[in-house]
A and B are shown apart, each in its own frame.
Chain A
Amino acid sequence: MTPASPETHLIESDLADAALERLLVAAGAGEIHRPPGSDWTVSGDAAPDAIDAANAIRRAIHGIYSAQDDVTEALITSQDHLIALRALTQVNLSTLGRSEALRDLLDQARVLTASDLVAMVDDRLVHTTGGPSSDSPELTEVIREATKSTDDPEPRLVGQGNAVIAPLNDQSGGIRALAFLRTNGPVYTTGDLRLVRAAVAAADMQFALTRLHLLEIKRATFEREHQVASSLAQAVFSQPAPTLSGVEVFSDTIPASLAGGDFFAFAVVGDVLWFTVGDVAGKGLPAAMVMTRAVSAARVAFLTHDADDPAGAMCAMGIELYDYLDDVGLFITVALGAYRPSTGALHVCNAGHSPVMLVLDGIITLIPASMPPLGVLPEPRGRTVRFDLQRNDALVLGSDGLAEQENSSGVMLGYDRLAELCAELPGESAERLGHHILDAVKRHADGTPPSDDRTLVILRAVEAIHDRVS
């Protein structure tokens, strides 16, 4: 629809006036007076009805032109609203900074609704744009009205109809309503209220997007911190495997997520290799944090006990960790021991850990626990067991993530199969045996993600030991 131009009005109006004039002259009119903006008066013999009819026609034509002007004006206004709505919806696209976005939003809402002022209101005024100062009496009255709680979600007219309070659907950000005020302009109409609803919908969307954006930033920050903390925790395994003549060492741990509760630690003290393998109950970063503390406690225990006293070292470690573990409600299964290659003497203490297996001449011997895991009893007491290793004998220490690894049918690898794997490569290096076991677990999983951390440590006697002291 193309609005008629003012020029067209004039020409058509002149044509109509000329035609009416001819009609009046034909009806006997003498002189015709045309006062601007009002009815014609006519001298002469023209009948009064004819004059009245001519004036009625002129008023009717004027009415048509007025209506046409109104429609044109409404179209222009509508176009302005569309532009303002577009600007309102693009506030989010142009900025995600909260205060800047809100200021833009209020500005656009003010333009859209032809208001002098728009305010965001919680229990008090939060932010205004345009209009009188925030302490003006008329605004104070509107804010007082806006802070009244209501269950009606629709915008409501207040004052003399020159203000509107529009509650937000999403009030989680603390903002309860938008207030629109016209200080000098006309009262708000039903059509204006529709525009107010559009502004409120845009504000709701803005708040929701801002909240999601901030949540996403927070989540990303947490994730980053989680990654850093996990890397720090797992860094306890970055030290190279210890070297000591007469023993081969293989060690590997694979957390089920970024970090895990499984651990191992070594220390060479004189001619003795101290070792420990453990599993903190639970998974992920919380377990990893406990794990790092357990590793520290183990390293201290290694240095402060005799090689034939792993039970004493375990007890010291348990006492050191008990209060901490009791507070966090966790326990740690631990196997801890010392191996002296020069004599082949292996001393081990097991606190609730499995599997702990000896491969002696190709035969698997389980080393059972002699005490509950650390963190269960305040003063744990365990036993040290001694074995004398020959060449190629090996000690295999794992975590439950190996035997309990499920395949896609939910079938676990099992402790029996794990023991078989340990005996399958007699005479091979600790490294080869380690990879053999880990590969078998991986093949069994066949793509099923690990449900728990997997840890494997193997010590293997590699040279014949003579003149052992038993």
Chain B
Amino acid sequence: MRIRTESGIGHTTVSLAGRFDAHETADFRNVVDLLIRPENATLRLDLSNVVFVDSSALAELLRSQKAAKAIGGEVILVNVSDPVRIILELTELQQVFTLESRTDPTTTTS
């Protein structure tokens, strides 16, 4: 899985591409843990190019969401790919995250 980070003033987006599974969670954690900080607690995760997520990856997404919320921020999932969307729906986890479309900035919160 490729992990790319874009940082601007007041916003940070991490783009993931490829399979997000148990083998990738350590790298993901290393990147994200450094980015979620009190001064910039909201993190956008661009999942448009993620082709697969397993339960370990979902647990990692949840862990980062809890870490962000604990300091007043949140993790926003951007442009969620179909495979990820299906898993989020199957597991009812979409209600835990804010989903955002980059072309359509309307925010959906369950």
Chain A residues in the interface with B (C-beta under 8 A): 261, 279-283, 326, 329-331, 333, 351-354, 368-373, 376-377, 400, 404, 451-452
Interface SS of A by simple majority: loop
Question: Known contacts A282-B22, A326-B66, A452-B54; is A331 also within 8 Å of B90 by CB?
Answer: no
A326 CA to B92 CA, complexed, in Å: 18
Contact status B62-A376, CB under 8 Å: yes
Chain B residues with CB under 8 Å of A368's CB are: 90
User: B101 within 8 Å of A by Cβ?
Assistant: no
Contact status A282-B92, CB under 8 Å: no
Question: Known contacts A282-B22, A400-B54; is A331 also within 8 Å of B92 by CB?
Answer: no
Partner of B62, one of A280, A331, A404: A331
What's the minimum C-beta distance from B40 to chain A, rounded to whole angstroms? 22
Question: Known contacts A283-B56, A329-B59, A331-B58; is A373 also within 8 Å of B93 by CB?
Answer: yes
What's the minimum C-beta distance from B67 to chain A, rounded to whole angstroms? 9
Chain B residues with CB under 8 Å of A261's CB are: 55
* Number of residues of chain B lying within 8 A (CB) of chain A: 16
Contact status B56-A373, CB under 8 Å: no
Partner of A372, one of B54, B63, B92: B92
Chain B residues in the interface with A (C-beta under 8 A): 21-22, 54-56, 58-59, 62-63, 66, 90-93, 95-96
Chain A residues with CB under 8 Å of B21's CB are: 451
A142 CA to B58 CA, complexed, in Å: 62
Chain A residues with CB under 8 Å of B59's CB are: 281-282, 329-331
A353 CA to B96 CA, complexed, in Å: 16
Q: Given A282-B59, A373-B92, A376-B96, output 8 extra A-B contacts at Cβ < 8 Å.
A: A281-B59, A326-B66, A329-B62, A330-B59, A331-B62, A376-B62, A451-B21, A451-B54
Contact status A376-B93, CB under 8 Å: yes
Question: Known contacts A329-B63, A331-B62; is A281 also within 8 Å of B55 by CB?
Answer: yes
A331 CA to B63 CA, complexed, in Å: 10
Partner of A281, one of B58, B92, B95, B96: B58
Chain A residues with CB under 8 Å of B55's CB are: 261, 279-282, 331, 333, 400, 452
Chain A residues with CB under 8 Å of B22's CB are: 282-283
Contact status A281-B56, CB under 8 Å: yes
Q: Which of A330, A370, A376 has the most CB of B within 10 A?
A: A376
What's the minimum C-beta distance from A83 to chain B, rounded to whole angstroms? 53
Chain A residues with CB under 8 Å of B90's CB are: 352, 354, 368-369
Q: Which of A280, A281, A333 has the most CB of B within 10 A?
A: A281
Contact status B56-A372, CB under 8 Å: no
Nearest 10 interchain pairs by C-beta? A352-B91, A281-B59, A281-B55, A369-B92, A354-B90, A372-B92, A329-B63, A352-B92, A282-B56, A372-B93
A379 CA to B96 CA, complexed, in Å: 13
Chain A residues with CB under 8 Å of B58's CB are: 281, 331
Chain B residues with CB under 8 Å of A452's CB are: 54-55
Chain B residues with CB under 8 Å of A326's CB are: 66
What's the minimum C-beta distance from A385 to chain B, rounded to whole angstroms? 14
A23 CA to B96 CA, complexed, in Å: 119
Contact status A372-B66, CB under 8 Å: no
Chain B residues with CB under 8 Å of A373's CB are: 91-93
A372 CA to B66 CA, complexed, in Å: 14
What's the minimum C-beta distance from B82 to chain A, rounded to whole angstroms? 13
Chain A residues with CB under 8 Å of B91's CB are: 333, 352-354, 369, 372-373
Chain A residues with CB under 8 Å of B56's CB are: 281-283
Chain A residues with CB under 8 Å of B96's CB are: 372, 376-377
